[in-house]
């Protein structure tokens, strides 16, 4: 079976007053991420937090962890250690507390469908002719603006003139731009 690289994206938040943000971070960094990496099938783990300007009750899960897997097929194998990662830790408040007793998680699994790097040769002969712009956590003024203006401003920050490109298709907040 061919390998399928991908990511596991986990949004989270403490949901008990017993679990402070500092203890939650300590559990993630000192316990959970080392356990995940110890499985031998996750080659990179990154954690993110919503910027303070984006923290809002409509964003109830301010933390995001991304785990990179070279092969998503591993998750379906009998010997997959990911499903056996401990859920209890002495770092957590209370006696024999499971992380699920004091925190909430939303886990999603994504398989890689395409990788495009600006300025990198795609096939050894040509530089890739696509640039993908994805916008997350747009400010209110950006949400109210039109997508072409938003892209024009983003490209200008990269030193690229949008008049040199044509928008091939727009999907939600993501556009694919082909260069002449």
CA gap 53, 147 in Å, rounded:
22
- pLDDT of the residue at 114: 79
CA gap 5, 68 in Å, rounded:
8
Beta strand 174-178 with 130-134: parallel, antiparallel or unpaired?
A: antiparallel
Residues 100-155: pLDDT tens digits? 999 999 999 999 887 777 766 544 444 444 455 554 445 555 555 565 666 666 66
Closest CA to 134 of 116, 110, 109: 116
- Which DSSP state fits 96? S
Token output for 176: 């694919």
Residues 38-83: pLDDT tens digits? 999 999 999 998 876 555 666 678 999 999 999 999 999 998 999 9
| 93, pLDDT greater than 60 | yes
pLDDT band at 172 (very low <50, low <70, confident <90, very high): very low
CATH 3.30.70.100 residue ranges for the chain: 6-111
- pLDDT of the residue at 156: 65
CA gap 167, 177 in Å, rounded:
5
- pLDDT of the residue at 155: 63
pLDDT band at 9 (very low <50, low <70, confident <90, very high): very high
Mean pLDDT of 143-171: 56
| 90, pLDDT greater than 50 | yes
Partner residues linked to 18 by β-bridges: none
| CATH code of the domain occupying 6-111 | 3.30.70.100
């Amino acid at each position: 079976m061919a390998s399928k690289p991908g990511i596991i994206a986990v949004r989270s938040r403490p949901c008990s007053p017993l679990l402070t943000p500092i203890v939650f971070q300590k559990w993630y960094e000192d316990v959970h991420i080392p356990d995940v990496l110890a499985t031998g099938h996750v080659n990179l783990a990154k954690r993110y937090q919503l910027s303070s300007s984006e923290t809002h009750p409509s964003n109830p899960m301010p933390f995001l962890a991304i785990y990179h897997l070279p092969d998503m097929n591993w998750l379906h194998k009998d010997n997959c250690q990911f499903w056996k990662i401990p859920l209890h830790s002495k770092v957590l408040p209370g006696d024999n507390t499971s992380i699920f007793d004091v925190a909430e998680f939303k886990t999603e699994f994504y398989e890689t469908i395409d990788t495009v790097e600006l300025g990198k040769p795609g096939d050894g002969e040509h530089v890739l002719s696509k640039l993908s712009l994805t916008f997350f956590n747009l400010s209110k003024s950006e949400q109210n603006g039109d997508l072409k203006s938003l892209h024009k401003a983003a490209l200008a920050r990269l030193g690229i003139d949008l008049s040199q490109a044509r928008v091939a298709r727009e999907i939600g907040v993501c556009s694919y731009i082909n260069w002449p």
